[in-house]
Structure 1
Amino acid sequence: MISVKEQEAISQLMEFFKDWDNGGKVTRCRILNNFITSNQGRTAPELEEEFSQGGSLFLARITTWLRLSYMFGTCLKEILQSVSIFLSSAGSARYKVEFVEVGGILTLLEILGLNQISDQNKTEALKILQILGRSGRTYKELICESYGVRSVAECLAKSKIEETQEQARVLLELLAHGNPKYQTQVYKGLIALLACDSPKAQHLTLQTLRTVQGIVQTAHPSISEPLLAVLQSMHLEVQYEALQLIWELMDTDVRPALLKGLVSLLKPSQRERTRSRPQILDDPTAPQISEPLPTFIQQAASAKAIRMLARESPQLCEDLIQLRVVHHLLYAMGNTEHTDSQRQASLTLEYFVSSFPAVEEDVRTAIGDKLFRMLTENAELLYMKLDRVHIDILISNQVTVPGVKEESRH
């Protein structure tokens, strides 16, 4: 038999639901704000006690309003925060099932793709998806089956707020862990993200790729081209993460493609140099712009990457030499359009010269004693001392170092 106290509690709950059902936007927002203030950190049993075992009924009402109003942004922040309180509470397995069964995951993913919804609200949606993802493999698979990887990746690429981008990154990494059925899909989604326009998104993507690469272990062949393209970035933090990932991929099947690609970047074709040149730079009425072109930034980064790899592994040194890296470095040293390309190429070539006697001999023969002495005396500032004759020698060199197997000097 129901006690008087229980009857009063049920009566209060019905009155509460009546206020909600009959209330407009202002009333419902007030109810949600009171709920958020009073119930942060509560467990599922405590929420049930608060609502006289009717917590699921209130969650259902919130979820229904979410599905009906999310496109208009009506009290969206309060709705999402209220859902989060239910789903994050200890012992909330039933709430999660109920939320998913009414299409909660699809609604959250749709929120991520709507331009009219603020990034702050998308952040709240991402946090709820993380709560679900941390609840087990089943929820991760449900998110991925709902095209969640694509939705989250696009949100990361398009968002203008760093917090939203960071939450999207966290979710993508979460979906790769303990989710063997879809970890490759997450991996490929991250590779596709490398081509986005946002430097922050590229930075976060590269960080996540380094983690996910360890999970999938086998490198996908498609990673080489977009990873090398990232070296065009003017942002040092992006280049740093790209260089670290390139190094970590040296133990995978894409090593030959990456090495070949790095060497080829030292000597961009005329077509590539023309294609990457902004049209404004050819306008005689426009002011002179000294900002380096992406191709030359990439050229400098490639020389830096090659130096890093060569220092870490004698075997990589030999592989690079077989790819005619010395010839390409000399060519890059003659690139008067970008001094950092010249500097990085000189420093890298100086390392090869000092490490391999065969390289030293062939470079000295190819460029002459005077220019060779300038290289070994101060490689970093060599570009400042080059004249037209030196440039012609560097650009037209045909040096080869056949059969390099000598012991390095270091």
Structure 2
Amino acid sequence: MSSIREQEAVSRLMAFFKEWDNGNRMARSRILESFITYNLGKTGPELEEELCRGGSLFLARLTTCLRLSYMFGTCLKEILQSIAIFLSAAGSARYKLEFVEVGGILTLLEVLGLKQISEEQKTEALRTLQILARAGRKYKELICESSGVRAVAECLAKSKTEDTQEEAQALLELLAHGNPKYQAQVYKGLIALLPCASPKAQHLALQTLRIVQDIGQKAHPAIVEPLLGVLQSVHMEVQYEALQLIKDLMKSEVQSALLQGIVTLLRPSRKDGVKTKPQILEDPSAPQLSNPLPVFIQQAACARTIGLLARGSAELCDQMIQMRVVHHLLFVMGNTEHTESQRQASRAVEYLASVSPVVEDQLRIAIGEKLLRMLMENAETLYTKLDPTQVDVLLSNQVSVPGVKEVTK
């Protein structure tokens, strides 16, 4: 009786494989949809029972089909979901090894870089890679050795949908944890994402950088310039994450370089100007700006950062005073081209004067008693009350604290 049942099982399996092997695109799509519906969440032994102990044979067919057709996107989503059922099943170590041994990781990474593949299909490829990454350090290293960090980072930067970008971020985070051999590679890959054109990618990269930094990654000097560059973003969620990362890095090896960069950017140079002006600015009747809006946004963000850092740490407050930050902030206060820069700079100067009698005394000498009193009474709206003479005083100020050094570019 047992032999008869085994023969029947083998017959069913052979009939199933024959249907698959001889099936056209529509037939295979129908087979895959049925397989996904009835086998999602099953364990390895349950899959073997369902497939009459032919799970590895069907996985091999799926993998072969993936490798032959992924460039055309034929049933790609369904193939990836079916492979994911095998790889995610409890007790599926054998399936993972079989998939990896035939080049499954490389194929998934190639899917991420194809322009003709849909975002939805790339999302499924990322989820499949996540299943492998969760399986342990060995698989994380295999992904990284296959140039996986670069492929995933580029997918995050170029993707047009948030779902795909978020799955790419999740995979990068997985690759950073429990993977000491390649943790620095992931860290540098995230830094490389900061100048990209996608605000969502910048936001996710900054979030992940904070996580990677928190798990013991030594801060790399290369992070300073792109991180400060992100402060030009008009997207508040990007600026928020950048500011949080800057605060985290104040305890790291790049603290001094970051502080100097922040103070320096309060006085943007002409070379920071736009390469091509928007057409509206070519109108002779339009206001003539010496620098583009992103530079002013960055300037305002730097002034805000100075105020927040000074409020959060007396040591950092003293350091910035020693860097002659007040002199630069007063210049920003007098720059009437961008009111948000003026407002943030006024708030920062007001705080520094309130905690440092020396700064208050030097302000009194540099800008006069009346302007100082206006500042201390209402820094938030000071920019609305400045007359041309006071603006000139702020722009030409020479406030200095004895013994401080000038910060130059």
TM-score by shorter chain over 0.5: yes
The answer to whether the 8 A contact 2:281-2:287 is kept is no
The answer to whether the 8 A contact 1:233-1:298 is kept is yes
What amino acid does structure 2 have at the position aligned with 1:145?
E
2:324 match: 324
1:275 lines up with 2:274 in the alignment:
yes
1:408 match: none
**Residues in 2 aligned to 1:233 and 1:208: alpha-carbon distance in whole angstroms:** 18
Q: Secondary structure at the match of 2:215?
A: helix
Residues 291-342 of structure 1 deviation map (CA, whole Å, 9 limit, x = unaligned): 9700000000001101111011111011101111000000110111110000
The answer to whether the 8 A contact 1:343-1:383 is kept is yes
Cα distance change, pair 150–286 in 1 and its aligned pair in 2 (3 A): farther
The answer to whether the 8 A contact 2:274-2:292 is kept is no
1:396 match: 396
The answer to whether the 8 A contact 1:262-1:302 is kept is yes
The answer to whether the 8 A contact 1:183-1:216 is kept is no
Quote the offset at 1:281 in angstroms: 4.3
1:284 match: 283
The answer to whether the 8 A contact 1:281-1:288 is kept is no
Quote the offset at 1:68 in angstroms: 0.4
1:221 match: 221
Regions of 4+ moved over 3 Å: 285-292
**Residues in 1 aligned to 2:49 and 2:278: alpha-carbon distance in whole angstroms:** 68
1:300 match: 300
Cα distance change, pair 286–125 in 1 and its aligned pair in 2 (3 A): farther
1:22 lines up with 2:19 in the alignment:
no
2:189 match: 189
Q: Secondary structure at the match of 2:160?
A: coil
1:31 match: 31
Q: Secondary structure at the match of 1:251?
A: coil
Percent identity between the aligned chains?
68
Residues 138-171 of structure 1 deviation map (CA, whole Å, 9 limit, x = unaligned): 0000000000000000011111111111110000
Cα distance change, pair 126–11 in 1 and its aligned pair in 2 (3 A): same
Quote the offset at 1:371 in angstroms: 1.1
**Residues in 1 aligned to 2:271 and 2:144: alpha-carbon distance in whole angstroms:** 41
What amino acid does structure 1 have at the position aligned with 2:108?
L
The answer to whether the 8 A contact 1:184-1:216 is kept is no
1:8-407 alignment runs, 5 A limit: 8-272=8-272, 274-275=273-274, 278-284=277-283, 293-403=293-403
**Residues in 2 aligned to 1:162 and 1:228: alpha-carbon distance in whole angstroms:** 24
Quote the offset at 1:285 in angstroms: 7.2
**Residues in 2 aligned to 1:243 and 1:195: alpha-carbon distance in whole angstroms:** 16
Quote the offset at 1:289 in angstroms: 11
Q: Secondary structure at the match of 1:72?
A: coil
**Residues in 2 aligned to 1:288 and 1:104: alpha-carbon distance in whole angstroms:** 58
Q: Secondary structure at the match of 1:71?
A: coil
**Residues in 2 aligned to 1:118 and 1:177: alpha-carbon distance in whole angstroms:** 29
**Residues in 1 aligned to 2:104 and 2:402: alpha-carbon distance in whole angstroms:** 63
The answer to whether the 8 A contact 1:277-1:293 is kept is no
What amino acid does structure 2 have at the position aligned with 1:36?
I
**Residues in 1 aligned to 2:373 and 2:107: alpha-carbon distance in whole angstroms:** 67
**Residues in 2 aligned to 1:330 and 1:397: alpha-carbon distance in whole angstroms:** 7
Quote the offset at 1:287 in angstroms: 7.2
**Residues in 1 aligned to 2:41 and 2:367: alpha-carbon distance in whole angstroms:** 72
Cα distance change, pair 56–289 in 1 and its aligned pair in 2 (3 A): farther
**Residues in 2 aligned to 1:390 and 1:230: alpha-carbon distance in whole angstroms:** 32
Quote the offset at 1:286 in angstroms: 9.1
Quote the offset at 1:391 in angstroms: 1.2
Cα distance change, pair 331–285 in 1 and its aligned pair in 2 (3 A): closer
Q: Secondary structure at the match of 2:71?
A: helix
Cα distance change, pair 352–276 in 1 and its aligned pair in 2 (3 A): farther
Quote the offset at 1:215 in angstroms: 2.2
What amino acid does structure 1 have at the position aligned with 2:186?
V
Quote the offset at 1:216 in angstroms: 3.7
**Residues in 2 aligned to 1:215 and 1:150: alpha-carbon distance in whole angstroms:** 21
**Number of corresponding residues:** 403
RMSD: 1.7
Quote the offset at 1:275 in angstroms: 3.1
**Residues in 2 aligned to 1:240 and 1:341: alpha-carbon distance in whole angstroms:** 16
Q: Which moved more, 1:91-100 or 1:2-11?
A: 2-11
The answer to whether the 8 A contact 1:280-1:286 is kept is no
Residues 372-406 of structure 1 deviation map (CA, whole Å, 9 limit, x = unaligned): 111111110000011211111111111111248xx
TM-score (norm 1): 0.95
Quote the offset at 1:277 in angstroms: 6.6
TM-score (norm 2): 0.96
Structure 1 segments unaligned to the other structure (5+ residues): 405-410
**Residues in 1 aligned to 2:364 and 2:122: alpha-carbon distance in whole angstroms:** 60
Quote the offset at 1:129 in angstroms: 0.4
What amino acid does structure 2 have at the position aligned with 1:302?
C
Residues 67-125 of structure 1 deviation map (CA, whole Å, 9 limit, x = unaligned): 00000010111001000101000000000000001110000000000111111111100
The answer to whether the 8 A contact 1:309-1:317 is kept is yes
What amino acid does structure 1 have at the position aligned with 2:260?
K
